[in-house]
Chain A
């Protein structure tokens, strides 16, 4: 019996409201940037701060308006952007070139809403160049990019934490200068606690998929993490994720799932391919093969134990720990934020293959996977493109492993025919593997 999520609508509404607020805000501050950044500092500027994030916006546009996004991407290329640049980036800039913006409520607004400022990260070699291009095209929007340096175990390296904290502190002074507003530590600290809480809650929700049957599947996970991506600093986000955690716990107790038929449990390393590849998801589902754990949906806005004396653990963090965090000063809040964000699994892999390898290994065992599905994303500059290539050669002899050619949102670079072939094969290999294990 397929379980229907009760909290579903709240998630959809929250996401839509955030975008509507940004697009239609008559006064207040419009802030743009990668939501792969610490967001709470923006909230120190007041209650009327509206955020639009590059990756989530590009992703949900691609999901809601496949044809539009195709045109956006080629518009960006016609405007001169590199044919091999990040497709999130091109979709995003393409909207500016076409002077319109699409939002997940299904509407398209003519006239691109200019941001007041850009607050973003730089980690891969494109992250901040993305917004440099945006700023240039919109006539010089002030921007501040924080170098998230990254690397496995970064949150436990005092040198890195200090570096990031100093940048955030400097950034807060910049925010005051550029907006002429006074920065409220009270608002900031409140937002910071929320931000951390949401990340920890999401980690707990994902971790429940270790049960069989896994209560959630990749398609639901992809649909449920945007609120945390779009704006995770509000009381409401905390509320809806607490509600979701409660509901999923209940599902586990009653052994229910959004997809009851789970003959094969798959661990997925790649970007959220279903944005561009619903067909692939269908093939897997028809074969009773479900993605039960995915580094992207788990680790982009979720936190886990991470490295515990040298070994990676997907054990979630205790939400209560967040409430006890001492955030009495600005610096406390900043460093708590820096640590949690640097701890994101999706950042551990960047430039640290060993972390990526360990995460994959841990996920395969902790989630009792029957197969490992890799999907390097052709235009992603981080380990989402390259990291998985070598993983295939490492895991192929241990567990059925298949690698798709795909791309975050550029359907033209996805290999649909190939992925279909490989998916059939994948299921075949997993069956054969199960049989061999059983015969032994």
Chain B
């Protein structure tokens, strides 16, 4: 039966998020080269063009001892947890580790792998502009990607042709379009799929072979189109913030004591990962890739329009609010993260103008279920104007 169908596919995606190592190793078993990446500013297309599957390094959410003598204790728990994955040798099977100079916490997590987890000989750091909107940034990025391409060609012992790149660009664009379509289901009043489910699929896509992922997504969307919507949605909550690969948070949001729907996530583990496209059929492929990455929703660490200091990310957020019509916004950021709270200071007045209430979740390795639950239910009570 159809309904069973979509559930089955979603289950498959969930299984991958819970067994990323098993999945990745199975690809390796088929003779695939695997490259781990720690930040979504890594041009996966270049890896993919060389026949390497990019696998995003994710955290394990068990409290990570012993990283505090490698990473400062006031670095975010996501960077600690990722560093821990290296020190525990959970990813030793990777053929390569790639990082782009992004937020400093993750960059240092990368350094821990390189210095203390045996990745010195199989790692590459891509110099990436810290402000993506300057005129020279594009040119610099093209050069930087060029050097990366050369490294990968040496590493994979094969030259990457323009056709290879174009194919990769198209596969990835396809993947982005499909994920986008999936999220757009949530613009409906009674979508056939929940935010938690889509968040799970989106997370899975970050560790999957994109070709396989695309096939699965197409089937999923096909079946969803055919399925009746779920019960009319409750309070619509939109999330915006930093990296969060902890599905427990999204699960909590959809299982409060009130009926609520998670309708959008603006973060580098969700929308920021795929909500953009590369120009296709351009003569200069690296230029196309650079343009794609520069055009995406900016990471708060890199967002600063020269001349005005405007934060471009805010335009996107306002657009999402218009399209997805949230009743409330949940800011979430890793404890000790600096860029995110900076944005929240400036975003709150915008939300107040729009009359959208909000609350902040400060993320850590562990999830204080009752505290977060209370914060979220209180937010819903504001929205529902609950009073005696």
Contact = CB atoms under 8 A, between A and B. Distances in A.
Is there a direct interface between A and B, measured as CB atoms under 8 Å apart in the complex? yes
Interface of A: 79-86, 118, 122-126, 128-129, 131-133, 135-136, 140-149, 151, 159-160, 162-163, 166-167, 170-171, 174, 178, 350-351, 353, 376, 378-379, 381-382, 385-386, 389-390, 392-393
Q: Most chain-A Cβ atoms within 10 A of its Cβ — which of B101, B304, B340?
A: B304
A159 B144 contact: yes
Contacts of A174: 306-307
A129 B130 contact: no
B144 A166 contact: no
B104 A129 contact: no
17 contacts: A84-B335, A84-B336, A85-B338, A124-B104, A125-B339, A126-B339, A129-B304, A131-B309, A132-B304, A132-B342, A142-B307, A142-B308, A145-B131, A147-B131, A159-B127, A378-B74, A386-B72
A144 B306 CA distance: 5
Contacts of B70: 389-390, 393
Given A84-B74, A351-B101, A144 B338 contact: no
A144 B130 contact: no
Nearest to A356: B111
B332 interface: no
Contact of A386 (B75, B300, B337, B346): B75
Contacts of A79: 345
Given A159-B140, A389-B71, A82 B130 contact: no
Given A144-B306, A167-B134, A389-B69, A126 B101 contact: no
Contacts of B139: 163, 166
Contacts of A147: 129-131, 134, 137
A380 to B, nearest CB: 10
Contacts of A133: 342, 345-346
Nearest to A123: B130
Contacts, number: 153
Contact of A135 (B69, B135, B309): B309
B359 to A, nearest CB: 14
Q: Most chain-A Cβ atoms within 10 A of its Cβ — which of B71, B127, B336?
A: B127
Contacts of B341: 81-85
Interface in B188-218: none
Interface in B82-141: 101, 103-104, 107-108, 111-112, 114-116, 125, 127, 129-131, 134-137, 139-140
Interface of B: 68-72, 74-75, 101, 103-104, 107-108, 111-112, 114-116, 125, 127, 129-131, 134-137, 139-140, 143-144, 147, 300-301, 304, 306-309, 311, 335-342, 344-346, 348
A84 B345 contact: no
B311 A81 contact: no
B338 A86 contact: yes
B104 A381 contact: yes
Given A160-B127, A353-B111, A125 B136 contact: no
Contacts of A128: 131, 304, 309
Contact of A122 (B68, B125, B130, B340): B130
